[in-house]
Structure 1
Amino acid sequence: MCEKLNKVNSWLSAVFGDQPVPQFEVNTRTVDLLHQLAQSSEARCSETALLTEDLRQKAAEYEAEGAHLRDVLLQGVGLSHTSLSKPTSDYVSALVDVAMVLGVRDTSLGSFMPAVNNLTGELLEAEKAHRTLERELRALRKRLGAALVLRRNLQEDISRAAKSQAVESAKAEEKLLNMDFITAKAKELANRRERAEAQLASRNMDKSITHQAIVQLSEEVATLKQEIIPLKKKLEPYMDLSPNPSLAQVKIEEAKRELVSV
């Protein structure tokens, strides 16, 4: 813990330089995190130093090779940078720029061709990836269109369902109100019937004149009328005969007695 804390403090002092190091809570977690950051920073600084040294060496090599080529051109051919025409100087500058863009060591054809081939391969891969992305994009657009259509249909279904639910809720509420009214009315009628029955019972009403008894008597009368029909048909041939006064008198007396008994 103390060793890590000392390393963290030295690293923070190096990072902030003349500025004061911000205060932080010293605990195991913060010290471990800062120690990891210090190690990562030192590793990156070491890699950067190595890369810088390599670039310096390459720059020195390029300068030496350039000086050698200038000497060859000057001593062997008698050409110098100042003796070149402007178009030639422009061509040389363009050639150098292309070499720098391609990242080749020199401007020879043997260096340019592999670099161009690599760029061509990268271009073909990029075009292939672009076509793949276009296909995926078209597929995504189709799925997006289908999803939007489905979303619109769902919204319409939800809207219709909400309206239908509102109508059904109104109908159910109306039915509940009607049911409450009918229930209250039925209770009221039942109470009235009970009071009426109690009132009739207190008055010793004859049950033979109740509605139920009258309905039953009416049904019996209707049945008797149906039974009398065939008897009337049997008596029709005798209706034209002259009546016997004594027998008629007897029948009249029987009918009077039956009427009195009824």
Structure 2
Amino acid sequence: MCEKINKVNSWLSTVFGDQPVPHFEVNTRTVEILYQLSQSSEARCSDTGLLIEDLKQKAAEYQAEDAHVRDVLLQGVGLSCGSLSKSASDYVSALVDSAMVLGVRDTSLGSFMPAVNNLTNELLEAEKSNRTLERELKALRKRLGATLVLRRNLQEDINKTVRSQAVESAKAEERLLNMDFVAAKAKELSNRRERAEAQLQSRHMDKSLTHQAIVQLSEEVTALKQEIIPLQKKLEPYMDLSPSPSLAQVKIEEAKRELAAIDSQLEMNVDFK
């Protein structure tokens, strides 16, 4: 624990430099967190130092190579940076810029060709990916068109359904109003019937004078009339015969009594009606 505290104090002193280290509560948790931070910071600082050393070494190599190229050009060819024409200087600058863009180590053909080949491959892959994306986009546009058509049809169906529901709702409301009217009218008629029945009962009306009783009597009269017809037809053969003193008188009396009874019954029914 003491070793970690010393390590943390040393790291904090290095981080803040001349500034005072802020006060913090010294406990196991804070010391552990600060110790882990110090370890991570030192690891990053170590990696950064190694990267700086590598860059310095590469810069020294580039400087040595630049000096070597300058010596070769100056001693072998007799060329120097000041003796180059503007066009040559522009070409060299373009070559250097191309090398930097391609990320090659030097400007030799052996470095340029792989870099150009890599760019060409990347371009082909990009074109292939672009064609694939175009096909997918075309398919998406086709599906989008079909979806829009389906959406429009669904919207039309929804509008038709809404209009139909509005009409059906109006009809249902009208039917409800009619039902309410019929129910009220039925209730009113029922009350009137009950009042009429109560009024008739208070007046001690004979049930035989009701419409139903009269209709029944009329039906009975009609039935009796139908019964008279065959009797009259039965008497017709005797109307042409010469009367005999005994048999004719008996038959006539029987027919008269039967006819008188029927007429009496018929007159009673008619008078009662």
What range describes the TM-score normalised by the shorter chain of this pair? 0.7 to 0.9
Post-superposition offset of 1:254? 4.7
How do residues 69-80 of structure 1 correspond to structure 2 at under 5 angstroms? 69-80=69-80
- Give the corresponding residue for 1:109: 109
Structure showing greater Rg: 2
Post-superposition offset of 1:53? 3.5
- Give the corresponding residue for 1:166: 166
How do residues 1-262 of structure 1 correspond to structure 2 at under 5 angstroms? 14=15, 47-220=47-220, 227=226, 231=230, 250=256, 253-254=260-261, 256-262=263-269
Once residues 143 and 171 of structure 1 are traced to their aligned partners in structure 2, the CA distance between those partners, rounded to angstroms, is 41
Matching residue's letter, 1:190: S
Post-superposition offset of 1:186? 1.0
Once residues 34 and 163 of structure 1 are traced to their aligned partners in structure 2, the CA distance between those partners, rounded to angstroms, is 73
Once residues 39 and 151 of structure 1 are traced to their aligned partners in structure 2, the CA distance between those partners, rounded to angstroms, is 62
Structure 1, gaps ≥5 residues long: 22-28
CA-atom RMSD in angstroms: 4.6
Structure 1 range deviating more: 37-46 or 88-97:
37-46
Deviations 1:173-221 (A, max 9, x none): 2211221121111111111111211221222222222222233344555
Post-superposition offset of 1:159? 2.1
Post-superposition offset of 1:253? 4.5
Post-superposition offset of 1:73? 1.1
Once residues 53 and 154 of structure 1 are traced to their aligned partners in structure 2, the CA distance between those partners, rounded to angstroms, is 70
Does the CA-based 8 Å contact 2:70-2:80 persist in structure 1? yes
- Give the corresponding residue for 2:26: none
Once residues 205 and 147 of structure 1 are traced to their aligned partners in structure 2, the CA distance between those partners, rounded to angstroms, is 81
Once residues 143 and 87 of structure 1 are traced to their aligned partners in structure 2, the CA distance between those partners, rounded to angstroms, is 57
Post-superposition offset of 1:117? 0.9
Matching residue's letter, 1:166: A
Q: Say if 1:168 and 1:37 are closer, same or farther in 2 by CA, change over 3 A.
A: farther
Identity of aligned residues (%): 68
Deviations 1:83-109 (A, max 9, x none): 222222222221111111111111111
Once residues 186 and 100 of structure 1 are traced to their aligned partners in structure 2, the CA distance between those partners, rounded to angstroms, is 103
Post-superposition offset of 1:153? 2.3
Does the CA-based 8 Å contact 2:221-2:266 persist in structure 1? no
Secondary structure class of the residue paired with 1:106: coil
- Give the corresponding residue for 2:25: none
Post-superposition offset of 1:112? 1.0
Q: Say if 1:127 and 1:196 are closer, same or farther in 2 by CA, change over 3 A.
A: same
Higher relative contact order (CA 8 A, sep 6+): 2
Post-superposition offset of 1:81? 1.5
Once residues 73 and 221 of structure 2 are traced to their aligned partners in structure 1, the CA distance between those partners, rounded to angstroms, is 148
Post-superposition offset of 1:134? 1.3
Q: Say if 1:213 and 1:260 are closer, same or farther in 2 by CA, change over 3 A.
A: closer
- List, as ranges, runs of 4+ consecutive aligned residues in structure 1 with deviation greater than 6 Å: 29-42
Count, aligned residues: 253
Secondary structure class of the residue paired with 2:175: helix
Structure 2, gaps ≥5 residues long: 23-28, 244-248
Q: TM-score, normalised by structure 1?
A: 0.73
